[in-house]
Every structure is written in structure tokens, then in C-alpha cells.
Amino acid sequence: MLLKTRGRANGIFEPIIAKITRDIFHQDKNQILVIQSVLNLHIVNSFNAILSTGKLDGNEIKSPFISEIPFLDHLNEGDIIMLNPSGIINTLYRQKSYQNFLLVTERCNSNCLMCSQPPKDRDDIPFRLDINTRLIQLIPKDCAELCITGGEPTLLGKSFFQLISLLTTSLPNTELHCLTNGRSFGWKLFTKQLKALNTSKLMFGVPLYSDYYQLHDYIVQARNAFNQTMLGLYNLAESNQRIELRIVLHCLSVERLPQLAKFIYKNIPFVEHITFMGLENEGYTPFNMSKLWIDPFDYMTELKEAVMFLAARGMNVSIYNLPLCLQPEILWQFNKKSISDWKNIYLDICKNCTQKNKCGGFFASSIKQVSKHIVAI
């Protein structure tokens, strides 16, 4: 699944955000028409913009357009896209997907060793806030769920709360999942601003990689991050916010999983969900593979002990991003098919597996480093 393509742009001087249609009778200024060739100039010029895999004549077509695009099959009716002056076409929202997200900034105050989208030190917040504000107004009201991600979303400052307010007002029935390192919530004045908002549909996904502060700080490459995150978790709980803990599994984090599970139960039992997540071989991970890589098969003892400890005490536990064939069968009940559809693959060996429909498969990037223990069940 691709989320970006490119063609030859004409008449586009700033980003255009609108919904895709292939119906020439829509004639809606909020629509971008996909055509093979121009049949009626009057109809074509009534749309916000035009997309075509063929050649278009800028002298005939008055609407902005992008032509000579290699493919458009990935776009469905109602998808929301952004056309850029460069000719790049970004898919912002997919009508048929449950895995849509808002990328609110690429800046971050951590620098995790296994970050799949390494932070960029540039002020992109005003630009992305404008894009996301326009996007939210076009998202269907029946959108089931939406992720807010970065970078670190809380670096928006006051604009973060404006964005949450807009989302909860425009999409009151949508489940919102905000991925954050939680450090900004260590400041009570920051966290208290959530109390004025309707956040009943909002959950904060916060990473915690160890019960030992120095190890957590090393993994996220930020001094005092553990203490800030823990304080942030307590402040979020005091503000009656929903919290998910996210634990990425790699060589540095797996040895103390049983101790981390006990630490969570003793110190932060108020979290709504705990998820143990397989490593994505993207971003910084390939450069730090010597520090991070461990065959998942080799940490199943620690993972099983941690998961079963928490589950036995009534805590809501899940396992993401790990194929079933690497896990003891007792852990299968905790698995979720969590890998985003545009990243998700199965190996050739999986074709004859009886559990394929229940298994989450692999990240596409995983073919660079695969467990030696993959088998068809």
C-alpha cells in the first residue's frame, strides 16, 4: 500500500486538500476529479483540481491539475489527499482504512535508538497545523478511530490543545489515540489544560522501556526522561485521562521485562492498556541493529512471564507486531493484528500456515532481519 505518488503539476501554488471522486457529475468544489481524458471542459473546470495518468493541456483546463501520474489505483472514492506544487500527491485519509493518522510534527524531544521515523529539527508546526485543521473538517463524522502522532505531538504547545478541541468537537464519536513520550505532561500546568476538554474518547499511548531509569533514558537518548515520563503518567491519571503503556521489544528492553511488569503493577496500575510491541526495522533501527537485535524467539520466556503476570492481576495486556509461530500458544490470546496495512506483509512460508488469518504477520522492513524460527503452523 502506497501513500504517495507524483506527477506533473500545473496551476498549484499552495497545497490543495480535498476528497477524491471519479464521478464527473459531482461537480463539487471540495472534490478532486480523477480522469483518464478530458470529455467535457465545462464539467472538468468545476472541480477543485484534476488528476490524470494521461497528459493534460494547461491551455484548455482552468482548474489546477496534476497529470502524467504513474498510478492512481491506490485512491478510492472519498479518500482525502493533498496536492503539492511539486506534483507530489499525499494520501491523508483513506475511507476504507481503520488506520488513519494525523502527523502533527516531525520534531521530538527524545531521540530513541529504534525510532521508526527519526525526528527532524525544523519548525514544521504551523504548516502541519494548517494542513491538519483543513483535513479534520473533511473527515467523515463516522470515522471510527484516528491516531495523532509525530514526532512528539505535545511540542505543539497551546496548539496541541486547540487541535484536540477541534478533533473532539468535529469528530465527537471518533476514538482518538495520541502517541506521546509523555514528558510534557510532567508539568502540571500543561496537563491541567486537558481538564477543560472532552477527552473521553482520547487515549494517550506512552512508552516505558524499563523499570530502571538509566536504561530507559539510554534507550530514548534523553537525560531525565524516565522521571519526566513517570511524573507525566501520574499527572495524566490525576486529570482522569486514559493511558496506554507501549513497550518496544529489543535486546536492551527484554531482559528486565518481568521486573518491568511488576513495576507497572505496583506503581502505575491505573493504566488502561499495556502493549508489548515487536521491533520495526526502519528509521534509526538499522543503524543501531548491533545494540537492538535479538531473535524474538529468544525472549519468549521473559515476555511470557511479564504478560502472564499482568494478565493474572486483571490488567489489559496485548502483544503487537510478533508472528504467532514464535510465541508459546498460551500467548496467542493476547495478540492483535496491529501492523498498519501499508506496512504489513507475510512471507512465502506463511502461505500454508493454518493460523495466517489470526497472525499479524510482519513489517515490510522485517525482511532485512527475520527470525530463524519462522515456520508454518
Strand, coil or helix: 238:
helix
How confident is the model at residue 35, as a pLDDT? Answer: 84
CB 310 within 8 A of CB 276: no
In whole angstroms, what separates CA 294 from the centre of its chain?
24
CA 16 – CA 81 distance, rounded (Å): 8
Question: What does the block give as the cell for 63?
Answer: 482548474
CB 33 within 8 A of CB 44: yes
Predicted confidence (pLDDT) per residue in 251-267, tens digit: 999 999 999 999 999 99
Nearest-5° angle of CA 285, CA 288, CA 292?
A: 80
Amino acid at 35: I
Strand, coil or helix: 248:
strand
How confident is the model at residue 57, as a pLDDT? Answer: 81
CB 80 within 8 A of CB 139: yes
Q: Is the link from the previous residue into 151 a cis peptide, with omega within 30 of 0?
A: yes
pLDDT over 60 at 204, yes or no: yes
Closest to 49 measured CA to CA, from 61, 64, 38, 35 = 64
Confidence of residue 377 (pLDDT cuts 50, 70, 90): very high
CB 188 within 8 A of CB 236: no
Confidence of residue 36 (pLDDT cuts 50, 70, 90): confident
In whole angstroms, what separates CA 128 from the centre of its chain?
15
Strand, coil or helix: 173:
coil
Please count the CA atoms within 13 angstroms of the CA of 116 that sit on its side-chain side. Answer: 15
Predicted confidence (pLDDT) per residue in 9-34, tens digit: 999 999 999 999 988 876 667 899 99
CB 318 within 8 A of CB 332: no
Predicted confidence (pLDDT) per residue in 278-300, tens digit: 999 999 999 999 999 999 999 99
pLDDT over 70 at 39, yes or no: no
Amino acid at 62: K
240: left (phi over 0), alpha (psi -120 to 50) or beta: left
CA 337 – CA 232 distance, rounded (Å): 29
Q: For residue 280, give the DSSP letter.
A: P
pLDDT over 60 at 140, yes or no: yes
How confident is the model at residue 63, as a pLDDT? Answer: 86
DSSP lists the bridge partners of residue 10 as 65
